[in-house]
């Protein structure tokens, strides 16, 4: 952790700073200034500078390009303002995706980054906003190790194991229980926070009984460079459908990287158990192990965005960079 320095804040939007309008809750500009005042009034002198992204958004509108804007704001707080940690305020709907994106984009960043938000706007009766905000700042003030964490409802969840799980209670996030392996990557990944990658836009396709292979074919034909294929159980798929296999072969021939993950919330892909998953492997599909959808999407997009050839992307998808597989 960096000695000295303050805790920088990046405000991106989300319910925590929303106000009710005619169409429902919507972001209201000036959140950073309001928070600065409130924190000052509470005697909090270790926080700042604040960066408010414009416009503030409902996180349903966040995509990979938005992760890069957040990442750039974090890097500038660390490198130009010498912050020893950064808090990111974000909507809950896609916070786990942004956290996963930041975990890979900001690889090597020497300070901790914590994301939080709220299920109810800060300041309204019964809001969880203040508890999440002050808890996340306390966490950062304690000097946790570098890395990306979601703090919510009193829990710290590593970015690569985080999913939004609930919509009706304030404990909205869970630490996913997929089998994963810890340990650093055996080689130095060919990207880092020093030169932010522009992630490629990739797709997620969940398999289901009656899956229509033209969905995959259409993605490949449109030039989408990568696809997370959410398979059954430990990585099975309808391989008896020759049109499905043909779509996978087409993907391979066009260098579209297809990564298999498990649809089971506590599952992981383990190719080699069933003949069906063996067939996926021979069709060029790479195993995503225990990666969540959020992580597989972010990692694949960033690998492809880093300009790695399809074969190298497949290899890196199989390497545990942050204990995500």
Q: Which residues bind ligand ASP (CB under 6 A)?
A: 13-15, 58-60, 91-93, 117, 119
Structure tokens given for 263:
């649809």
Contact criterion met (CB below 8 Å) for 6 and 46? yes
Of 59 and 234, which has the nearer Cβ to ligand ASP? 59
Clarify whether 92 is annotated catalytic: yes
At closest approach, how far in Å is the CB of 14 from ligand ASP? 4
Minimum distance, C-beta of residue 154 to ligand ASP, in the bound complex (Å)? 17
> What's the CA gap between 48 and 77, in Å, rounded?
9
Q: Which is nearer to ligand ASP, 27 or 267 (CB)?
A: 27
Which CB atom, from 13 or from 288, has the smaller least distance to ligand ASP?
13
Which residue among the candidates 12, 92, 170, 292 is catalytic per the annotation?
A: 92
CB of 118 vs ligand ASP, minimal distance in Å: 6
Give exposure, 207-219, as e/b (b: 16+ Cβ within 10 Å). Answer: beeebebeebbeb
Nearest-approach distance from CB 167 to ligand ASP, in angstroms:
9
| Cα 198 from chain centre | 14
260 vs 181, 243, 286, 317, CA distance in Å? 17, 18, 6, 10
List 229's β-bridge partners, or say none: 205, 260
CB 248 within 8 A of CB 280: yes
- Verify whether residue 15 is a known catalytic residue: yes
Which residue minimizes CB distance to ligand ASP? 91
With b meaning 16 or more CB within 10 Å and e meaning fewer, what string describes 156-190?
Answer: ebbbbbbbbeeeeebebbbebebebeeeeeeeebe
Choice between 18 and 296, CB closer to ligand ASP? 18
- Contact assessment for residue 71 and residue 106, using Cβ atoms and an 8 Å cutoff: yes
Q: Phi then psi for 56, rounded to 5 degrees?
A: -65, 145
Judged by beta carbon, residue 172 or residue 216, the one nearer ligand ASP is 172
Q: Smallest gap, in angstroms, from Cβ of residue 92 to ligand ASP?
A: 3
Report the catalytic residues: 15, 92
């Amino acid at each position: 952790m960096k000695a000295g320095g303050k805790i920088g804040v990046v405000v991106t939007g989300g319910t925590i700073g929303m106000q009710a309008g005619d169409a429902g809750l919507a972001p209201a500009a000036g959140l950073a200034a309001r928070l600065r005042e409130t924190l000052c009034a509470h005697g909090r002198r270790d926080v700042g500078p604040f960066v408010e992204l414009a416009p503030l958004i409902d996180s349903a509108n966040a995509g990979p390009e938005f992760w890069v804007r957040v990442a750039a704001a974090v890097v500038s707080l660390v490198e130009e303002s010498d912050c020893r940690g950064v808090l990111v305020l974000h909507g809950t709907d896609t916070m786990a995706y942004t956290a996963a994106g930041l975990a890979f984009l900001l690889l090597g960043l020497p300070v901790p980054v914590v994301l939080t938000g709220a299920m109810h706007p800060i300041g309204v009766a019964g809001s969880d906003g203040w508890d999440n905000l002050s808890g996340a700042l306390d966490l950062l003030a304690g000097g946790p190790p570098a890395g990306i964490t979601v703090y919510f409802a009193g829990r710290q969840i590593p970015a690569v194991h985080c999913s939004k799980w609930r919509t009706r209670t304030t404990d909205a996030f869970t630490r996913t229980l997929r089998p994963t392996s810890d340990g650093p990557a055996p080689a130095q990944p060919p990207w880092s926070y020093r030169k932010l990658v522009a992630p490629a836009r990739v797709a997620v396709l969940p398999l289901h009984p009656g899956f229509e292979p033209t969905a995959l074919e259409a993605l490949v034909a449109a030039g989408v460079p990568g696809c997370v294929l959410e398979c059954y159980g430990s990585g099975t798929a309808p391989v008896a459908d020759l049109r499905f296999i043909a779509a996978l072969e087409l993907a391979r021939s066009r260098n579209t990287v297809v990564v298999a993950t498990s649809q089971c919330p506590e599952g992981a892909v383990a190719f080699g158990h069933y003949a069906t998953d063996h067939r996926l492997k021979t069709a060029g599909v790479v195993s995503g192990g225990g990666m969540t959808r959020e992580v597989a999407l972010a990692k694949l997009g960033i690998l492809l965005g880093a300009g790695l050839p399809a074969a190298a992307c497949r290899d890196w998808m199989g390497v545990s960079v942050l204990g995500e597989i």
